[in-house]
């Protein structure tokens, strides 16, 4: 029947489903963690479910992570999986609209632009934006939506640091609406279907054109005024970047890369910050610990934050890491399989045109890798670092006080691994740690009605539902 997908010989087991065409979309969508755990128990680390007629081969555990992240270019493609979602948002000539070798060059440009020298300049900017933002929480104590706050704040800090102060200065007016419309087109349905005639996609397309022009006009203006001393990514992309074949990065490509960075960094960082603050609110004694750490590093809570100081805040780091372990914002990492693909160590062969996906939250929250895996315990990383140092040769030191495994075999991969690994990690840590550092100086926090929010899995990035907190100001 065309409605049911028939299992091929040797392909991984297919999760049974009762509604043709839709397949397992409904049961999976309601509580994906429960769904994947259930079938992992039943079938092991590899099984397929059908999502609107597509074969989604789920690859779990550190072994499954490795299979997806280290898949060879000829076997599995990120661009084939992400194109329909991202190209209309980011634009042509960048990221998943180009051959992987071009993306690799573009990632190198951005990585070089996020130099330590530039990151150093971002700390006072983030500190100031955070203080200004939270000055609006001006009662002695009140109830607030913490995710709304982090989303509003992070677009301010990220645009000031990365996109430039011209963009930041337009955030209260034109730019916010353009971002809103573009973001409205960045949703899972566009992964499943190409060119859907949705009203939100029409707004997305208009917003893309507006944002490109917005950035390109600033580039032109800077050139006319001879401005060359900025620390943002726009400055770096438009002055320093040349492909290996000698061609300079065009302004249009620079604008599209900036849009891609904005979209890649915004929800990932704002939800991570929100979850981190929620976990802290669930263990309010950690606020004192964090302040103690800052006093040790900076001398007092009145000293300005610095890049070198932020680097030394290990507990702050571990709070972010533990939040990323329990709530990795990118839920599933997907590739499209380009040819029949055997899974090493099994008898399975994945049919061409299937999708393979890694679900990071499953290995992050598995007892096999993390003791009391469901508990938020930032101090687990102290031992973990020690253990990892002894057994993992692929560690990368970003200079943030913690070592990050670059091996795709690690059970902890919130930033991915392999050729598609995130280049925003150092910036993300710096930004989130600085915001938390300012926040704990200003406030104490508790969960509203002692309730820890559930996950909303229907959005691109897993968000907290009704994330209400009760703050108390420390400074008046
Ligand atoms: C890739 C997570 C912040 C830019 C990735 C991937 C993950 C990830 C899991 C791999 C995707 C895949 O393999 O399919 C995160 C998290 C963030 C974060 C958890 C924050 C907490 C950022 C920021 C930027 C950024 C701030 C930009 C400044 C990118 C880029 C890629 C990437 C350019 C490469 C895509 C590719 O090569 O296919 N990120 N990211 N990310 N991220 Fe991030």
**Mind spelling out the 3-state secondary structure of 232-292?**
CHHHHHHHHCECCCCCECCHHHHHHHHHHHHHHHHHHHHHHHHHHHHHHHHCCHHHHHHHH
- Ligand 1 centre to CA of 9 (Å) is 36
Low-confidence ranges of the chain (pLDDT < 50): 1-2, 398-402
Residue 354 near residue 51 (C-beta atoms within 8 A): no
Note the pLDDT of residue 176: 86
260 CA closest ligand 1 atom index:
33
Q: Which of 71, 122, 416 to mutate to test the pocket of ligand 1 (most atoms within 8 A of CB)?
A: 416
Residue 77: CB atoms within 10 A of its CB come to: 17
469: which DSSP letter? E
328 CA closest ligand 1 atom index:
19
- Ligand 1 centre to CA of 337 (Å) is 21
At residue 462, the 3 state secondary structure works out as coil
Q: Whose CA is nearest to atom 15 of ligand 1?
A: 415
420 CA closest ligand 1 atom index:
37
Residue 17: CB atoms within 10 A of its CB come to: 19
Count, residues in the chain: 476
Which residue carries 């899972």 as its tokens?
Answer: 188
Interatomic CA distance for residues 423 and 95, integer angstroms: 13
| Tokens linked to 232 | 């943002």
- Ligand 1 centre to CA of 448 (Å) is 32
- Ligand 1 centre to CA of 447 (Å) is 29
**Contacts (Cβ under 8 Å, ≥6 apart) of 221:** 166
Query: Between β-strands 355-359 and 54-59, what pairing exists: parallel, antiparallel or unpaired?
Result: parallel
- Ligand 1 centre to CA of 423 (Å) is 6
Distances in Å between the Cα of 419 and the Cα atoms of 23, 25, 54, 376 are: 32, 29, 25, 30
Note the pLDDT of residue 175: 86
Residue 24: CB atoms within 10 A of its CB come to: 21
351 phi/psi in degrees, rounded to 5? -70, 145
- Ligand 1 centre to CA of 225 (Å) is 33
- 163 HSE (CA, 13 A, CB side): 33
- Ligand 1 centre to CA of 105 (Å) is 15
Note the pLDDT of residue 304: 97
Beta strands in 135-269 (DSSP E): 141-145
Which residue carries 């040797």 as its tokens?
Answer: 10
Q: What is the per-residue pLDDT across 62-110, written as a single tens digit (0 to 9) for each? A: 889 999 999 999 999 999 999 999 999 999 999 999 999 999 999 999 9
Q: Whose CA is nearest to atom 39 of ligand 1?
A: 422
Q: Whose CA is nearest to atom 41 of ligand 1?
A: 424
**Residues linked to residue 242 through DSSP beta bridges, in sequence order:** 248
10: which DSSP letter? T
Residue 198, Cβ density class (10 Å: 0-12 exposed, 13-18 middle, ≥19 buried): middle
Residue 395: CB atoms within 10 A of its CB come to: 16
Note the pLDDT of residue 188: 74
Interatomic CA distance for residues 19 and 255, integer angstroms: 43
- Ligand 1 centre to CA of 264 (Å) is 6
Element (H, E) at 325: helix 314-326
Interatomic CA distance for residues 388 and 393, integer angstroms: 9
388 phi/psi in degrees, rounded to 5? -65, -40
Interatomic CA distance for residues 100 and 96, integer angstroms: 8
266 CA closest ligand 1 atom index:
26
Q: Which of 264, 272, 329, 436 to mutate to test the pocket of ligand 1 (most atoms within 8 A of CB)?
A: 264
Interatomic CA distance for residues 427 and 162, integer angstroms: 10
DSSP 322-386: HHHHHS-SB-EEEEEE-S-EEPTTSS-EEPTT-EEEEEHHHHHT-TTTSTTTTS--TTHHHHHHH
Note the pLDDT of residue 113: 93
- Ligand 1 centre to CA of 261 (Å) is 8
Q: Whose CA is nearest to atom 28 of ligand 1?
A: 424
Residue 207 near residue 90 (C-beta atoms within 8 A): no
Q: Whose CA is nearest to atom 38 of ligand 1?
A: 420
Q: Whose CA is nearest to atom 26 of ligand 1?
A: 265
Ligand 1 pocket (Cβ < 6 Å) reads 78, 103, 107, 261, 264-265, 268-269, 272, 329-330, 333, 414-416, 420, 422-424, 427-428
Find, among 93, 61, 444, the residue nearest to 290 by Cα: 444
Q: What is the per-residue pLDDT across 336-348, written as a single tens digit (0 to 9) for each? A: 999 999 999 999 9
Interface pTM, i.e. ipTM = 0.99
- Ligand 1 centre to CA of 359 (Å) is 15
Q: Whose CA is nearest to atom 37 of ligand 1?
A: 420
């Amino acid at each position: 029947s065309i409605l049911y997908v028939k299992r091929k010989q040797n392909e991984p087991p297919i999760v049974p489903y009762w509604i043709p065409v839709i397949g397992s979309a409904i049961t999976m969508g309601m509580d994906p963690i429960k769904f994947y755990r259930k079938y992992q128990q039943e079938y092991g680390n590899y099984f397929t479910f059908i999502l609107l007629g597509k074969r989604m081969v789920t690859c779990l555990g550190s072994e499954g992570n490795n299979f997806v992240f280290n898949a060879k270019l000829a076997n599995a493609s990120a661009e084939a999986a992400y194109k329909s979602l991202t190209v209309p948002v980011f634009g042509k000539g960048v990221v998943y609209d180009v051959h992987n070798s071009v993306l690799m060059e573009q990632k190198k440009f951005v990585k070089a632009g996020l130099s330590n020298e530039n990151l150093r300049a971002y700390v006072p900017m983030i500190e100031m934006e955070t203080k200004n933002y939270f000055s609006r929480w001006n009662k002695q104590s009140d109830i607030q939506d913490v995710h709304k706050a982090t989303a509003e704040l992070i677009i301010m800090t990220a645009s000031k640091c990365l996109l430039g102060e011209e963009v930041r200065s337009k955030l209260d007016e034109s730019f916010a609406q353009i971002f809103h419309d573009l973001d409205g087109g960045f949703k899972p349905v566009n992964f499943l279907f190409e060119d859907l005639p949705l009203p939100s996609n029409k707004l997305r397309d208009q917003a893309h054109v507006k944002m490109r022009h917005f950035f390109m006009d600033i580039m032109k203006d800077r050139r006319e005024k001879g401005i060359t001393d900025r620390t943002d990514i726009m400055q770096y992309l438009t002055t320093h970047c040349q492909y290996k074949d000698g061609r300079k990065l065009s302004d249009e490509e620079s604008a599209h890369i900036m849009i891609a960075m904005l979209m890649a960094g915004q929800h990932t960082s704002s939800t991570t910050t929100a979850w981190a603050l929620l976990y802290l609110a669930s263990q309010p004694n950690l606020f004192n610990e964090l302040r103690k750490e800052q006093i040790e590093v900076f001398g007092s809570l009145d000293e300005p934050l610095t890049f070198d100081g932020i680097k030394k805040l290990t507990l702050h780091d571990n709070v972010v890491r533990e939040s990323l372990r329990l709530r990795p914002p990118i839920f599933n990492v997907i590739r499209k399989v380009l040819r029949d693909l055997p899974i090493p160590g099994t008898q399975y062969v994945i049919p061409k045109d299937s999708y393979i996906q890694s679900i990071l939250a499953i290995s992050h929250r598995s007892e096999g890798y993390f003791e009391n895996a469901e508990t938020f315990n930032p101090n687990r990383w102290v031992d973990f670092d020690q253990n990892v140092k002894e057994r993992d040769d692929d560690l990368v030191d970003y200079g943030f006080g913690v070592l990050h495994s670059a091996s795709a075999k690690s059970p902890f991969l919130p930033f991915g691994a392999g050729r598609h690994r995130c280049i925003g990690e150092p910036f993300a840590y710096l930004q989130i740690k600085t915001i938390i550092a300012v926040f704990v100086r200003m406030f104490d926090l508790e969960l509203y009605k002692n309730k820890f929010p559930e996950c909303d899995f229907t959005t691109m990035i897993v968000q907290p539902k009704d994330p209400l907190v009760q703050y108390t100001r420390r400074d008046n």
